[in-house]
Chains A and B, each alone.
Chain A
Amino acid sequence: MEKKILFLVGVLVLAATLIVSVTVLASNEATQSASSAKATTVTVVGKVADTAIATITFPEGAPSATVSVPYNDVDTSSDPQFLDTTASEPVVRLKNTSAGTLKVWLEITTWANGVAASEDYELVVTTDTTVAVVDNVLSSNGNAASVDTTVQIPTTEYRALYLELVLSSLAGKTGTSTLTVLGETP
């Protein structure tokens, strides 16, 4: 009887060992590899040169006037934005250096000293040189604002950005604001 029990225990131990052990099967392996590019911010470049700009300046205007000739620090005041029905030129171009399409958001901070009454934008393909009117609202009161333009820039492509500022009725004031171009995967 004892022998039978010992035999049974032995069999069970063997079975448990077999269950616990991991069976390694030989297999044909093929290595797969993939990589994804990093997402890169939209670059704000000059009207012609592919050089990143640092500032956009609106020249002085009379109180309540509309200033539509801003310029960037690469093209300088000698080559400002130009609104025209046939040969318009933007203030800057936006370049998508990311690996995929990006949707563009525009943000501004509040204009200091209440210098601005409102700010508008146009964002178009660079081949469109018929921009004579800039009337998409970026900020309706000169305060901080964030706008989803819904404009998408495919990878490696450019878009032309036009800006227009309406000055407030305050005279003899100078103010600053920052413009931000944000990209989002659509």
Chain B
Amino acid sequence: MYCKSTILFALLLGLLFIPGSTALATAVDRNSLCNLEGYPGKTISAEITLEGTDPEERAGFWYTYYKEVEGDDDRMDITSWITIEPKDYTIKQEEIKAFTVKVKIPGDARQGLWGATSEEAAKEGHSAERRTYIVFKDAITGGNVYSGLLIPVSVKVLASPNPLAPVINFVKQNIMTIALSIVIIVLLVALLVKRRKQVGKG
């Protein structure tokens, strides 16, 4: 009798240690790629990583998506600017894979925000302001049901940079030192000239 109750107790205790089958999917380290800044003709690069959390291997891919809204202007669809490398992937549990998102801004792109209607688009409650997305989705290998996430992308195209801007910035930041240095140099030159005159007279 004692033996039976010990076995029953052991079995019940054992049940506590049977792991629950918790289904998970794929995690990403960035919710948005909004307000990226760049100049016309330049390419912006950003890294994004996926982490496998599902016990089963999943196979998937990246693509771009434009959410068309009536009345949108040509600034909203920037899917043609975006490439993601590598495009296809497989991911296992606890595996982390890095991807590079490249946004090539056309040389003739006008200054301003592209890919979203507002700089607030990345924030919660602002999904209506998003237009261009990158999307990843994956499924258990061999499956026909995918899951994924929409990640909004927007770019702030800046005015072409002034080639003298670094020099101007340096002068602005060191104006006092530069002014004093000039005064010192003038005084030293004056001193030198005076000495030479004295030597010439002597």
Q: Is the CB of B145 within 8 A of A50?
A: no
Q: Which has the most chain A C-beta neighbours within 10 Å: B133, B137, B140, B145?
A: B145
Give Cα distance in the complex from A101 to B184, angstroms. Answer: 64
User: In residues 32-55 of chain A, which contact B (Cβ within 8 Å)?
Assistant: 38-45, 49-55
Number of interface residues of A (CB under 8 A): 51
Q: Is the CB of A183 within 8 A of B148?
A: yes
User: In residues 94-130 of chain A, which contact B (Cβ within 8 Å)?
Assistant: 95, 97, 100-103, 105
Q: Is the CB of B139 within 8 A of A54?
A: yes
Q: Which residue of B has the minimal Cβ distance to A91?
A: B145
Q: Is the CB of B23 within 8 A of A92?
A: no
With A16-B180, A52-B54 as contacts: A43 and B25 at CB distance below 8 Å: yes
Query: Does chain A have a CB within 8 A of B169?
Result: no
Number of interface residues of B (CB under 8 A): 49
Q: Is the CB of B184 within 8 A of A42?
A: no
Q: Which of B3-11, B82-90, B103-111, B185-193 contacts A (4 or more CB under 8 A)?
A: B185-193
Query: Does chain B have a CB within 8 A of A179?
Result: yes
Give Cα distance in the complex from A54 to B140, angstroms. Answer: 6
Give Cα distance in the complex from A169 to B175, angstroms. Answer: 81
Interface string of B17-35 (1 = CB under 8 A from A): 0001111111111111000
State which of A15, A20, A49, A184 has its C-beta within 8 Å of the C-beta of B149: A184
Chain B residues within an 8 Å CB radius of A44: 145, 147
Query: Does chain B have a CB within 8 A of A2?
Result: yes
Distance to closest chain B CB from A35 (angstroms)? 12
Query: Does chain B have a CB within 8 A of A9?
Result: yes
Q: Is the CB of B27 within 8 A of A20?
A: no
Tally of A-B Cβ pairs under 8 angstroms = 142
Q: Is the CB of B27 within 8 A of A42?
A: no
Chain B residues within an 8 Å CB radius of A144: none
Chain B residues within an 8 Å CB radius of A100: 124
Query: Does chain A have a CB within 8 A of B176?
Result: yes
Q: Is the CB of B145 within 8 A of A56?
A: yes
Give Cα distance in the complex from A111 to B51, angstroms. Answer: 31
25 A-B residue pairs with Cβ-Cβ distance under 8 Å, sorted by A, are: A5-B190, A5-B191, A9-B184, A9-B187, A9-B191, A16-B181, A40-B24, A40-B27, A40-B53, A41-B149, A42-B25, A43-B23, A54-B139, A55-B145, A56-B145, A97-B53, A103-B127, A177-B144, A179-B146, A180-B147, A181-B148, A182-B137, A182-B150, A184-B149, A186-B127
The 5 lowest CB-CB distance pairs between A and B, nearest first, are: A54-B143, A52-B23, A41-B25, A38-B27, A180-B146
- Assuming A9-B184, A38-B51, A181-B147, what are 8 further A-B pairs, CB within 8 angstroms? A5-B187, A41-B137, A44-B145, A53-B143, A55-B143, A182-B150, A183-B148, A185-B31
* Residues of A bordering B, CB below 8 Å: 1-2, 5-6, 8-9, 12-13, 15-16, 19-20, 38-45, 49-56, 72-73, 92, 95, 97, 100-103, 105, 146, 148, 176-186
